[in-house]
Structure 1
Amino acid sequence: MVRRTQADMEQTRATLLQTARQVFSTRGYGETSMDDLTAQANLTRGALYHHFGDKKGLLAAVIEQIDAEMDARLHAISDTASNPWDGLRSRCRAYLEMAREPEIQRIVLRDGRAVLGAPTPQAQLHCVASLRGILQQLMEQGVIAQASPQALALLINGGLAEAAFWIAEAQGQHQRLEQALAAMELMLKGLRAGN
């Protein structure tokens, strides 16, 4: 019996993730069979079961990977902004614009919600934590009114997530994006101190 090294196991997991991401993006979760997926990855069903439990577990892992990439992109936007207020606005805008990216739209916003339900609190932790930090900084600077940074981060994140689902779900995405961006600006304007 051949013993697999840790590096082999990690490579197998990475291959399954990469293949699933590509196949889910082009065909969709519902149109992808485990046999097709494992054949394309040149692996066995047993490898998929070992690493992810089942196809649903594989989808959750792909979404987690995409969420981490989205979070890194959002951090880069807010971290390079000229000030925290512009960082917050740009970050929120970018999140809504991501709803029109085909991979995010199909895997995260459509298939993920249909198969796994609403985003798990775990998937939201990074976004909420970084938003909370930005909001706390803006409160300390007197840019926005005082409130619970955690509650405010949860409300903003939840609103953005629902707007992203709304943008991704139907025809007229450009129009929906424009409407969501206008509403977002109005909502954020309401946070400003002295309003």
Structure 2
Amino acid sequence: MARRRSDMVEETRARLTRAARKAFAQKGYAAASMDDLTAEAGLTRGALYHNFGDKKGLLQAVVDQIDAEMAERARLAGSQAGSDWDVLLAESEAYIEMALEPEVQRIVLLDGPAVLGDPSRWPTQDSCLRTTTRTVEALVAEGVVKPVDPEAAARLLNGAALNAALWIAASDDPRAVLPKAVAAFRSLASGLLASSDFGSDPATGEPS
């Protein structure tokens, strides 16, 4: 019985999250009414309040879901790179490039910060920070990166990638901004390298 109840709760949350994700992507957070999205899910406002507290809580759940998907996609992009340094760049650039996607733009990079506050303080960003910190620690140990504080470097790298994505999402011409943002990110990141032999040309991404 307890298992069945748990499954029902998860199904209710999943239905509400799917409906909200669709509504927030198509209409934006402000224009998406709770009545419309609960009707889309075939549920009531009471179910929304019980599971998420309010509309803001539902947005948080949707943002967490998309953010987790973005992190996994970035990880997969990094898994196809070569060295640990190339992995770090590939993951960061993949995250930046996702800012071109309408759903990511509207929900995660525009409405998310406006409603939920500073993205760097979101729980999903803590996980990304820990991952980047571990990577920098390894790079410092290998002598690839200068002997900097790993957490400090990780915070600055993640912050640069996040702000690049925010810039792209808010711009009038995201596709024109993307290459500028990626080139600038590469240039900033290369300042951490102990030797230019480890780096790539910021403009092309090719080994220097």
TM-score (norm 1): 0.94
**How many angstroms apart in 2 are the aligned matches of 1:92 and 1:65?**
19
Q: 1:114 to 1:121 in 2, by over 3 A?
A: closer
Secondary structure at the aligned position of 2:59 is classed as helix
Contact (CA 8 Å) 2:38, 2:48: kept in 1 or not? yes
**How many angstroms apart in 1 are the aligned matches of 2:80 and 2:138?**
15
Deviation digits for residues 146-175 of structure 1, max 9, x if unmatched?
Answer: 111111101111111111111100212112
> Higher relative contact order at CA 8 Å, sep ≥6: structure 1 or structure 2?
1
**How many angstroms apart in 1 are the aligned matches of 2:134 and 2:81?**
15
Unaligned residue ranges in structure 1 (runs of 5+): none
User: What is the aligned partner in structure 1 of residue 38 from structure 2?
Assistant: 38
User: What is the aligned partner in structure 1 of residue 76 from structure 2?
Assistant: 76
**How many angstroms apart in 2 are the aligned matches of 1:185 and 1:67?**
22
RMSD: 1.3
- Equivalence map 1:1-195=2 (5 Å): 5-119=5-119, 120-194=121-195
Secondary structure at the aligned position of 2:126 is classed as helix
Offset, 1:77: 2.2
**How many angstroms apart in 2 are the aligned matches of 1:140 and 1:118?**
32
Contact (CA 8 Å) 1:67, 1:123: kept in 2 or not? yes
Write the letter of the residue equivalent to 1:29: Y
Offset, 1:121: 4.2
Aligned residues: 192
Q: Which moved more, 1:39-48 or 1:129-138?
A: 129-138
Contact (CA 8 Å) 1:78, 1:91: kept in 2 or not? yes
Q: 1:7 to 1:121 in 2, by over 3 A?
A: closer
Offset, 1:79: 3.1
Write the letter of the residue equivalent to 1:152: A
After TM superposition, where is structure 1 displaced by more than 3 Å over at least 4 residues in a row? Answer: none
**How many angstroms apart in 2 are the aligned matches of 1:85 and 1:156?**
12
Secondary structure at the aligned position of 1:18 is classed as helix
**How many angstroms apart in 1 are the aligned matches of 2:170 and 2:77?**
26
Contact (CA 8 Å) 1:110, 1:165: kept in 2 or not? yes
**How many angstroms apart in 1 are the aligned matches of 2:54 and 2:114?**
16
Identity of aligned residues (%): 47
**How many angstroms apart in 1 are the aligned matches of 2:49 and 2:131?**
34
**How many angstroms apart in 2 are the aligned matches of 1:79 and 1:16?**
33
Unaligned residue ranges in structure 2 (runs of 5+): 197-208
Deviation digits for residues 124-152 of structure 1, max 9, x if unmatched?
Answer: 11111111111111111111111111111
**How many angstroms apart in 2 are the aligned matches of 1:101 and 1:164?**
11
Contact (CA 8 Å) 2:99, 2:109: kept in 1 or not? yes
Offset, 1:123: 2.7
Deviation digits for residues 71-93 of structure 1, max 9, x if unmatched?
Answer: 11122222332211111111111
**How many angstroms apart in 2 are the aligned matches of 1:148 and 1:164?**
25
